[in-house]
Amino acid sequence: MAKRVISKQLGELLIERKVITRKQLDYALEAQKEKGGLIGQVLVDLGYASEEAIAQAITAQYGFPYLPLENYEIDSSVVKIVPKNVASQFCLIPVDKIGNNLTVAMSNPLNALAIEDIELISGLCVQIFVSTATDINKAIEKYYKDV
């Protein structure tokens, strides 16, 4: 599987797109050091950026397609491929499986470790879509409640 070359951090990308300022990023990075979490989520929690703006920035920069999960139906057999704790930890959800390809929606598609873990767990080649953390968390609650 070809790995994408990630040249810019998300914060730099958001500054370039004028979603946030350098000062806001610096503050968010400090908050992230104290509390942990993904920088995108920290920026949302601080009210500096919307989840959609972050998802769109990632989509535009890296060419990952955007998938709004609200009206998307996921088959329960696909959900079972990735354990709930892994889905929650990396803020992702499997949405489709065709042949040896597993399509996964995630809020941070730049997390190579998460992608590698899913490929190891599933034995499948992972295709990435971007979605917001809120959409993914709602989908995790909806689809993993019976799993």
Tens-digit pLDDT profile for residues 98-141: 999 999 999 888 888 999 999 999 999 999 999 998 999 999 99
Domain-located, residue 123: yes
The tens digit of pLDDT for each residue in 60-82 reads 878 889 988 988 899 999 999 99
At 3, the pLDDT band (50, 70, 90 cuts) reads: very low
Does residue 44 lie in a domain region?
A: yes
* 57 — pLDDT class (breaks 50, 70, 90): confident
For 56, the 3-state DSSP assignment is helix
Residues 58 and 80 in one domain: no
Prediction pTM value: 0.76
Contact 87, 80 (CB under 8 A): no
Please write the tens of the pLDDT for every residue from 39-54: 888 899 999 999 889 8
Do residues 92 and 128 touch, judged by C-beta distance below 8 A? no
Residue 2 pLDDT: 41
Phi, psi of 15 (to 5 degrees): -65, -45
Tell me, yes or no, whether 140 and 81 share the same domain: yes
CATH code (residue 94): 3.30.300.160
> Do the domain assignments include residue 70?
no
Per the structure, the complete domain to which residue 17 belongs is given by 10-62
> Residue 127 falls within a domain, yes or no?
yes
